[in-house]
Each structure stands twice: as structure tokens, then as C-alpha cells.
Structure 1
Amino acid sequence: MSSYAVVVCGRCGGYLLAKTDQKTRMCPYCGSKIFVEKAKKAAFARNAYEASVLLRKLKEEKAAKRARLGFKGYFEESHQSNSEKDC
């Protein structure tokens, strides 16, 4: 049985599901090719149902944060360099 990962697209920041043994996935939001092994993982799950629940939760949290900050504030915060976040 395969395990699953919630992967973050490096181009648009969208969340998507991938089997951990998959080599690549196409981002459904921007069309970018994602190398699953190298991609940032937001969560792991043992089965597809658990993965879909985690994905839904992460998307809801992202939407709530975006609503609180407004689009411009969310965009600026999510694209700060690491050195700026440490200050």
C-alpha cells in the first residue's frame, strides 16, 4: 500500500496530493511539473482518505490566512526571503 504526501508547488504554492513513490506530478493550478522527491512536503498520510482530509485542512488554513491579510499582505508575507522573516 502506498503512502501519500501533500506536496507544495514550487511555482505557485498550491497544495496537491502525490503518492510518495510517484516521480512527478503536474500542478493542477499552474501546470508546472513537480518532482515529488524534491518538492516541499506539507504533510504525510498512510492512505488516500487521510491525505485528502489533510489537504482540505491545509487549503482551509491558507484561505483563512489569505482572508485575514488580504491578497497583497498574504502575497508579500509568503514571498519574503528567510532573512527578512528572521528580523
Structure 2
Amino acid sequence: MPISNNRVAYLIKSTGIKAGIKKNIHPHIFRHTHASLLAEAGTQLEVISQRLGHSSSNITRKIYLHITQNLEQKSIEKFSDYMQKVSTF
């Protein structure tokens, strides 16, 4: 017998509570996570947007993409490497 959407939502929410997660979590959060991790992996915005079934990449960018800690760290490292290359000191 297939599991219902309500049961999935209940299991995710109750697991979050048991784990001490104070933020209200729900199954849809995995859609946001999937989009953000695709971006972190270097997937083009248009590809992510198509994968999510959006008619516009603006929807994907504004609502679904979140800057992860790993992406932030990569950005810092990339900028640091660039500055070392162009520095004349």
C-alpha cells in the first residue's frame, strides 16, 4: 500500500522535532534543497529551472535557490585565488 502525502509530512515533521530542529519542516523543503545543491554542483540555472518544471528561471532563482555554506566558502576561495593572481604586492 502506498504511503500518503500526509503521512510523509507527518514523518518528516516528527523526525525534525525529535532531532531538535525548531524550524517547521515539510516535504517541499527537499525541493528547495535539491535546487540549491544542483546550483552548488555548478548546474546552470536554466537546467535547474527546467528540472523543477518552472516556466521562468526567475522563479527558480528568487524562490528556490539558497546560498549554502559550501557555496559561500567556494566563493570566498575563488575570490581569494583571483586576488592573489592580480596582486602586484
TM-score, normalised via structure 1 length? 0.30
Greater relative contact order: 1 or 2 (C-alpha under 8 angstroms, separation 6 or more)? 1
Higher strand share: 1
TM-score, normalised via structure 2 length? 0.30
